[in-house]
Amino acid sequence: MNAQFPIATTLKYNFPSPKETLQLHQLPKHFIELSLQSLKQTKHQQILPTKKTTTQFSTHQRPQPPIPTTELLTLTPNPTTTNIVAIDVSSVKLGETKTGILLGVRGAVVWKNPDHYRYLRLGPFPFHITRHIENRIRRLYHQNHAASYLQENSIPQAYFIQSRLTTLLERWIQSSIAHTTHNSIILWDGSLTAGTTETSVSTMQELLATARSNRNIILAFSKMTRLSLQGFRLTDLIKHTPPCLLRIKEYTDCIGPLRLMGNVYVAKFTKGSFAFRMDADKQLPSVRVVDAVQNLLGNDLILQSYPETLRLAHIFSTFTAIEVLGLQRCIIQKSNLKVVTKLNMHRLLFGRFGKGPEG
Amino acid sequence: MRLYKKEGATVQIISFPNEKVRKGDYLAIEDSKREESLIVQVIDMEYANIPGILEELLRNCNGDSSIEASIEGEDVDPFEVAAHVRYIQDARLLICKIRASTHKGKLIPTGFALPARSYARIRNISVSELLPCPSDKNGYPMRLGEIAEKKHLDVDVRALDGALNIITGKKGTGKSHIAKLLTLSLISHGAPVVILDLNGEYVRLGQNTKGEPNEFYSKIHVLTPKQNFKITLEQMRIRVLLNILVNVLHLPGTSAREFRRIWHFLEQKDALTIEELGEAIKNWRCNQHVRDALFSRYYTLLNSGLFTDNPAQATSLEDSLDRVRSGGAIVLNLQNESTTNRHILVEYVLGKLVELLTTWRLRAIFLFAEEAHLYLRETYWDDIVTRMRHFGVFTTFITNQPDTIRENIYRQVDNLFVLNFTNEHDLDPISRAARVDACTVKSIVRDLLPHHCLVLGKVVNDFPIIVKIRNLNVQMMGQTRLFFLNKDLQVNSIKR
Ligand SMILES: Nc1ncnc2c1ncn2[C@@H]1O[C@H](COP(=O)(O)OP(=O)(O)O)[C@@H](O)[C@H]1O
Ligand SMILES: [Mg+2]
């Protein structure tokens, strides 16, 4: 480990290590090491900041084919005390170097206990993604089949690597939570789709199985803009007064390499035009899902069809413009970059908002 | 610090939290490659306008209205990014005015070169790098006060020579205090001073805080009308008296002509006394209206109590001025005098000064005038700053109402001492002074602490400087009269 970083090296756990009881406070050694490794190479390189520094994404959306039939499930909020945990991870592109890209990743967990919310933020972690690091990340996935088309010395493709890194942290936090939490509703951002370059079918199966064995239920929420049924937007299909769920039956399980590990629902919890796609573990009976959702409605604040706990996790993980600047500054200092001024702090700080003294 | 941008004579600099910069500080933006630097002064500070700051603040706010705020939590931040975020969050934008530039270490007043943004180095510079510090050997030093911790601002009192000065600030900020400081500095370098003391605040300049005589005791001459200051009609010049009659007592033109004849008549008779004047008006052959007009003015003069027919009781202003010729002050105590009397007295004194200056009995005189609009005719203003200045009357106006001083005076001002003002509109007239830019004055003055003064003009080589005016070991008298006493004092006196 680089001596510049005073980070405790007593981390017990390697990544990913779902068999052990993970403690969130102790980040996987590999993840931090990966970050440190990546930054080492940044030294003496010039950073070209991205024009749009706020390209953030935290969900994993993919186009879906049309769906055949639906089933409406009406809901009654159930106030029986239930613990809720939400997880979200965000990443942001910070800039580019000659050999790679700079990223920042952060995860957030929010717990909803009967009377209050509590959060844990992990990160932000800066990364300098080069071909070398990219390979290490791929090795971490134990996957060699996907995305091997990259040329030896080409710059890794921003979108894929950013999404991979985000998922890497996200799956790890999800795994930790699934292990350490019992009898809770676990909210994820995204879907239960596996078989992607980021998430193998076995990883997802393991996550779901762990959760089930601890009597947790995972509900994954995602914005659905592209889901449609016979030309109608799903949102418009729900005519029933909320709260209700629309179960999409016989949803195609496999699309190419993709596997849907969950049943897909349209969730409309409040009046208004908002509705979300909700995925729930396929292994669980539908009544169990309905029960959990009713508990969610009775325990969490729901605004615009979205659970507050998950919204908070999202807010705590996303980066503000200042955090982007702070991360850039952190990288510049820690990686001991020579050409500091090339990263135009002024522009970033004031941009088009800068104003004259009289203005 | 980093150079951000330049617009006209304004430069914006980004300063980070670990850099100590205050309003009024001077910075040098150095371009070492070209051996040039720009001398700028910080006149204002703003928060750096960072995109997303609102979001950031809202997210981290501790108010109780939002759910986020009421959440407790923990951060695992192994890279300590939070410190960097705070660093940026607290970045400030320094609004600076260009004051000068240097080439190869020499100050050059014009030709501002634009320093390279990428490598220009910005550093704090001390006032001593800008102003030569006068010593007794090479000049006439005057200590104004402190500019930074343990650093003093010494200027050359010669900057007041031949100059027109204004001291302004709201009530109780220390205007009279500065006037006293300037007076004592002038005196100690041997200059004669006349103070038009509206509130009797300067009468104890010769005493220390304990009321004992101080080093200036023998050099302060207080003239209190009716007590130790009376004049005979003969000491008056007809020109001065006519000025008073026409301009102060509004005597109509025809009557004024008649008065002139009476005066000459008495002069020939060698009977220029108040008593004879009354007799002469009574017996003068003239229109009844004229006589009435003359009589009413005569009684005003008579009742003023300023005149005496006994030469032994009369004060010779010439003699008094002789005593301060090589360093000293005449304090004309106008406290307790009516408006009319003040006018009469001031017209008389100024008339005498001009007379003595034109005949070279005096080389020059430094005149301090507190709230001059209360005893000086409007038309006297131009006279004082133009004609009388040529004769050698160098005036310092002291006022808490800057708009009572006419615009053309501001245009000619050489030195400005500005204390705190809360109302920005009060500053409008000052901003018209040729030596200042409005931004500098408005921005600095509203944040001036008590006893701190923005000094502008010749005395500081046109480098506006904020100085904490030093204390003086003299009886102040300027304290506002209050009804309620200090509580501790009251308790003590009851116990006793
Ligand atoms: N620089 C200073 N140091 C110490 N005391 C001061 C200073 N300036 C003013 N004071 C005190 O503050 C009070 C008000 O000052 P003064 O000069 O009378 O104000 P102003 O003439 O503006 O109304 C006085 O008691 C004076 O002694
Ligand atoms: Mg005063």
The DSSP string of A82-130 is -EEEEEEEEEEEEEE-SS-EEEEEEEEEEEE-SS-EEEEEEEEEEEEE-
For chain B, give the mean pLDDT: 87
Which pLDDT band holds residue A22 (cuts at 50, 70, 90)? very low
Whether the CB-CB separation of B398 and B370 falls below 8 Å is answered with yes
Q: Would the CB atoms of A353 and B51 count as touching at under 8 Å?
A: yes
pLDDT score of A28: 65
Q: Is the pLDDT of residue B259 over 70?
A: yes
pLDDT at A210: 93
pLDDT, residue A323, reads 87
Q: What residue ranges line ligand 1, CB within 6 angstroms?
A: B 169, 171-177, 451, 469, 471, 476, 478-479
How many angstroms away from the CA of B173 is the closest CA of chain A?
Answer: 28
Q: Which of A166, A23, A149, A39 is nearest to A95 (CA)?
A: A39
Whether B91 sits inside 8 A of A349 (CB atoms) is: yes
**What proportion of chain B, given as a percentage, has pLDDT over 90?**
52
- Give yes or no for a contact between B156 and B139, defined as CB atoms under 8 angstroms apart: yes
Average pLDDT for B346-363: 90
Q: Which residues of B touch A112 (CB under 8 A)?
A: none
Dist CA A83 CA A71 (whole Å): 28
Q: What is the pLDDT of residues A221-271, one digit of tens each?
A: 987 655 555 555 665 666 778 889 888 876 666 667 778 888 888 898 988
Helix (H, G, I), strand (E, B) or coil at A290: helix
- What residues have CB less than 8 Å from B31, skipping those under 6 apart? B37, B113, B115, B116, B119, B120
Out of B166, B176, B177, mutate this one to test ligand 1's pocket (max ligand atoms within 8 Å of CB): namely B177
Does residue A48 have a pLDDT over 70?
Answer: no
Q: What is the pLDDT of residues B297-347, one digit of tens each?
A: 999 999 999 999 998 999 888 899 999 989 999 999 999 999 999 999 999
Distance of residue B169 Cα from the nearest chain A Cα, in angstroms? 24
| Long-range contact set of residues B150-155: C-beta below 8 Å, sequence gap at least 24 | B151/B126, B151/B127, B152/B470, B153/B127, B153/B455, B153/B465, B153/B467, B155/B131, B155/B455, B155/B459, B155/B460
Asked if A278 and A266 touch (Cβ cutoff 8 Å), the reply is yes
CA of B398 to the centre of ligand 2 (A): 8
Angle at the Cα of B445 from the Cα atoms of B444 and B446, rounded to 5 degrees:
100
Q: Show which of residues 297-336 on chain A sit within 8 Å of chain B, judged by CB atoms.
A: 301, 308, 312, 315-316, 320-327, 329-330, 333-334
Mean pLDDT for the stretch of residues A327-356: 51
Q: Which ligand is nearest to the CA of B472?
A: 1
Which of A22, A32, A322, A324 to probe the B interface (max B CBs under 10 A)? A322
**What tens digit of pLDDT does each residue of A263-299 get?**
888 898 988 778 888 999 999 999 999 999 999 999 9
Read off the pLDDT band of B394 (50, 70, 90): very high
Give the whole-angstrom CA distance, residue B175 versus residue B405. 15
**Is A322's CB within 8 Å of B85's CB?**
yes
Residue A154 has pLDDT above 70, yes or no: no
Nearest-Å Rg of the Cα atoms of chain B is 29
Average pLDDT over residues A13-37: 56
Give domain B147-229+315-469's CATH architecture: 3-Layer(aba) Sandwich (3.40)
Provide the token pair at A169.
């942290």
Asked if residue A127 has pLDDT above 70, the reply is yes
pLDDT of B356 > 50? The answer is yes
Query: What pLDDT, on a 0 to 100 scale, did the predictor assign at position A343?
Result: 41
Q: What integer pLDDT is reported at residue A15 of this predicted model?
A: 38
Distance of CA B487 from the midpoint of ligand 2 (Å): 25
Q: Record the pTM.
A: 0.74
In this predicted model, which residue has the larger pLDDT, A345 or B6? B6
Kindly tell me if the per-residue pLDDT of B229 is higher than 90: yes
Q: B348 alpha carbon to ligand 1 midpoint, in Å? A: 30
Checking B209-215 for CB contacts under 8 A at 24+ apart, the result is B209/B473, B209/B474, B209/B475, B209/B476, B211/B475, B214/B473, B214/B474
Q: How many CB atoms lie within 10 A of CB B340?
A: 17
Best mutation site among B170, B445, B476, B479 for ligand 1, i.e. most ligand atoms within 8 A of its Cβ?
A: B476
**Predicted local confidence at residue A32, as pLDDT:** 78
A-chain residues near B14 (CB < 8 A) = 345-346, 349
Nearest Cα of chain A lies from the Cα of B423 at a distance, in angstroms, of 18
Whether residues B50 and A323 touch (CB distance < 8 A) is answered with: no
Q: Which residues of B touch A350 (CB under 8 A)?
A: 4, 48-50, 93
What was the pLDDT predicted at A209? 94
Question: How much is the pLDDT for A320?
Answer: 83
Residues whose CB is less than 8 angstroms from the CB of residue B381 and which lie 6 or more positions away in sequence, other chains included? B405, B406, B409
* Residue among A4, A325, A352 with most chain B CBs within 10 A, to mutate: A325
Chain A residues touching B87 at Cβ < 8 A: 326, 329
Write the residue in A121, A308, A350 that is nearest to B48 by C-beta.
A350
Query: Collapsing DSSP states into helix, strand and coil, what is residue B225?
Result: strand
Is residue B491 over pLDDT 60?
Answer: no
pLDDT of A350 strictly over 70: no
Ligand 1 center–CA A316 separation, angstroms: 54
CB-CB neighbors (< 8 A) of A27 in chain B: 76, 78
Q: Which atom of ligand 1 is nearest to the CA of B478?
A: 18
Closest listed ligand to the CA of B475: 1
Please state the atom number of ligand 1 nearest to the C-alpha of residue B471.
3
Reduced to 3 states (helix: H, G, I; strand: E, B; else coil), residue B192 is strand
Other Cβ atoms closer than 10 A to B71: 16
- Tell me the mean pLDDT in the region B156-160: 94
- Distance to chain B for A20, nearest Cα, Å: 20
Which residues in chain B have Cβ-Cβ distances shorter than 8 Å to A346? Answer: 2, 4-5, 14, 117
Q: Do A125 and B79 touch (CB under 8 A)?
A: yes
Q: How many CB pairs under 8 A join A and B?
A: 138
Per domain, the residue ranges of chain B are 2-129, 147-229+315-469, 234-303
Please report, in angstroms and rounded to a whole number, the separation of the first and last CA atoms in chain B: 60
State yes or no: pLDDT of B273 exceeds 90: yes
* Residue of the CA atom closest to atom 10 of ligand 1: B174
- Least CB-CB distance to A357: which of B70, B71, B439? B439
Say whether B87 and A349 touch across the interface (CB within 8 A): no
* Helix (H) or strand (E) segment spanning residue B455: strand B452-457
Least confident of A203-217, B312-326, B410-424, B480-494: B480-494
How far is the C-alpha of B32 from the C-alpha of B27, rounded, in Å? 15
Instruction: Let me know: does B379 contact B408? Beta carbons within 8 Å.
Output: no
**ipTM of this complex prediction, to 2 decimal places:** 0.73
pLDDT band at A151 (very low <50, low <70, confident <90, very high): very low
Q: For all residues of chain A together, what is the average pLDDT?
A: 73
